Amino acid sequence: MPTLPIPASAISLGQTRTTVPTPVDLPRETLVRHTAFLGGSGSGKTTLPLIEQLLLRGVPAILLDRKGDLCSYANSEAWEMPTDDPRLMAYRQLLHDHIDVAVYTPGTLVDAGRPLSIAITPPGLGQLPGAERQQMANYCAAPLGGIMGYMSAVLDKKPDGGSGAGDRRTQHPSDR
């Protein structure tokens, strides 16, 4: 019967394809920051139980899936599909009982799914003094500018608007 893994335990990636197969593990502490799993179609990103192992260890995940392969996690019928393997059924139930699945469908379906909304500023930003509020707003805006192709020379803009490196304006690459 499967049990919840120890949160800090290594994540099993599989085993080597050698004469003597050796387990290949990923130490949990290597995933302390943002991680992306990228690969071509058919490379095994969806079938590798890596995400499930992370979720069972309490590691939060946002899964972006253009093709919808992972939407079965939100389909109640997928959790109840019959199987002859009692171990698989027990593992499936363990996973179902310990993860929270929310599918977001921004701009794709009318009256279905959930709209995508991610807070980009911390709560209470409006209550900070002006200089701190501006600095925090700059910290929040910089990653968004990077995603949109804008470059910012310095995050710490001088609050008094004075000269210096902080006065360099954000430019879009096409404006250079």
Q: Which tokens hold the place of 67?
A: 């093709």
Give residue for tokens 């899936």: 65
Residue 159: partners with Cβ closer than 8 Å, 6 or more residues away: 130, 131, 134, 135
Q: Which tokens hold the place of 56?
A: 């069972």
| 31-85 confidence digits (pLDDT tens) | 777 777 777 777 777 666 788 888 888 887 777 776 777 777 888 888 888 889 9
pLDDT tier, 147 (very low <50, low <70, confident <90, very high otherwise): low
Long-range contacts of 108-112 (CB under 8 A, 24+ apart): none
**Alpha carbon of residue 23 to chain centroid:** 26
Three-state DSSP state, 24: strand
What is the Cα–Cα distance from 70 to 65, expressed in whole angstroms? 7
